[in-house]
């Protein structure tokens, strides 16, 4: 009987509400991300996708609800502490620090884990394109390289949960496919619980185990990707394909 009960999810978001003044950016959002799985969060601009990630990582404080990381309540903890517990957040617009070199960006990602962090070399193995640029300022990287660097930098600390905010933004279709394949690969090989926020619903669903659709701060669907893609009403209303 115990075997039939699944272990608690790696990341649980429970009835979270986040307000900016009078605006409810998130209005009772709940979702789970399992170990080794990708949950895609979809929805139009202003649906609350970025706010959801910022609430989970502690950059904004929810007014109600809880965020639970591997069984521990992390709601209202300082960002630095949440990050130390194994959560990595790759922000929208990539968050690469252009004034630092590629290598400095990578080293920065692992400073707080000291010896347990991955070495830059392990990340270069994952993203060989970054090796030749290691001593250049990150501001010189192309869009795709920046995306690789910011994901690589998040991996240096060996997180358990990875939040990705629109990794496909501004990338050519071929690169989008590459990034998505890599996201899938990270969940499969490292067992990461990945929460993937995307406007590009079709490519996100192609690698996700679960699709969550947000609209005006509420969850309007939480289903298997195939079901979401098959639901014409949802697709037309919220996903744009």
Residues that bind other proteins in the complex, under the rule CB under 8 A? 57, 59, 79-80, 83-84, 88-89, 91, 95, 97-100, 104, 107-109, 111-113, 153, 157
Q: Least distance (Å) from other proteins to the CB of residue 105?
A: 8
- The rounded distance, in Å, linking the Cα atoms of 103 and 153 is 9
Q: Least distance (Å) from other proteins to the CB of residue 111?
A: 5
- The rounded distance, in Å, linking the Cα atoms of 119 and 154 is 12
Q: Least distance (Å) from other proteins to the CB of residue 90?
A: 8
* Placement of tokens 């959560």 in the chain: 87
Measure the CA angle with vertex 81, ends 79 and 86; round to 5°. Answer: 100
> How many Cα atoms occupy the beta-carbon half-sphere of 157 within 13 Å?
25
Measure the CA angle with vertex 151, ends 147 and 154; round to 5°. Answer: 145
Nearest residue to 49 (alpha-carbon basis) of 40, 36, 58, 37: 40
Q: Least distance (Å) from other proteins to the CB of residue 88?
A: 8
Torsion over CA of 240, 168, 224 and 181, rounded to 10 degrees?
Answer: 140
Q: Which is nearer to other proteins, 152 or 211 (CB)?
A: 152
Q: Which is nearer to other proteins, 108 or 126 (CB)?
A: 108
Beta strand pairing status for 210-215 and 218-223?
Answer: antiparallel
Q: Which is nearer to other proteins, 98 or 170 (CB)?
A: 98
Q: Which is nearer to other proteins, 27 or 104 (CB)?
A: 104
Q: Which is nearer to other proteins, 153 or 184 (CB)?
A: 153
Q: Least distance (Å) from other proteins to the CB of residue 158?
A: 12
> How many Cα atoms occupy the beta-carbon half-sphere of 132 within 13 Å?
4
Cβ burial of 215 (10 Å; 0-12, 13-18, 19+) is: middle
Q: Least distance (Å) from other proteins to the CB of residue 32?
A: 22
Q: Least distance (Å) from other proteins to the CB of residue 239?
A: 28
Q: Which is nearer to other proteins, 79 or 190 (CB)?
A: 79
- The rounded distance, in Å, linking the Cα atoms of 181 and 77 is 33
Q: Which is nearer to other proteins, 79 or 220 (CB)?
A: 79
């Amino acid at each position: 009987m115990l075997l039939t009960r699944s272990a608690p999810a790696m990341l649980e978001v429970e009835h979270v509400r986040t307000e900016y003044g009078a605006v409810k950016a998130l209005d009772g959002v709940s979702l789970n991300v399992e170990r080794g799985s990708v949950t895609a969060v979809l929805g139009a601009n202003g649906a609350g996708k970025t706010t959801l990630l910022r609430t989970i990582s502690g950059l904004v404080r929810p007014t109600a609800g809880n965020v639970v990381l591997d069984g521990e309540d992390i709601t209202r903890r300082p960002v630095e502490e949440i990050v130390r517990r194994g959560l990595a957040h790759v922000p929208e617009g990539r968050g690469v620090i252009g004034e630092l070199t590629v290598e400095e960006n990578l080293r920065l990602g692992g400073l707080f884990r000291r010896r347990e962090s991955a070495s830059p070399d392990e990340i270069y193995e994952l993203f060989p394109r970054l090796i030749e640029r290691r001593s250049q300022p990150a501001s010189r990287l192309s869009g795709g390289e920046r995306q690789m660097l910011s994901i690589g930098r998040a991996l240096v600390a060996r997180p358990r949960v990875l939040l990705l905010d629109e990794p496909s933004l501004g990338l050519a279709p071929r690169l989008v496919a590459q990034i998505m394949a890599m996201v899938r690969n990270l969940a499969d090989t490292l067992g990461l619980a990945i929460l993937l926020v995307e406007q590009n619903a079709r490519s996100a669903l192609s690698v996700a185990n679960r699709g969550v659709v947000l609209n005006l701060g509420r969850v309007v669907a939480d289903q298997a990707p195939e079901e979401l893609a098959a639901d014409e009403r949802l697709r037309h209303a919220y996903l744009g394909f």
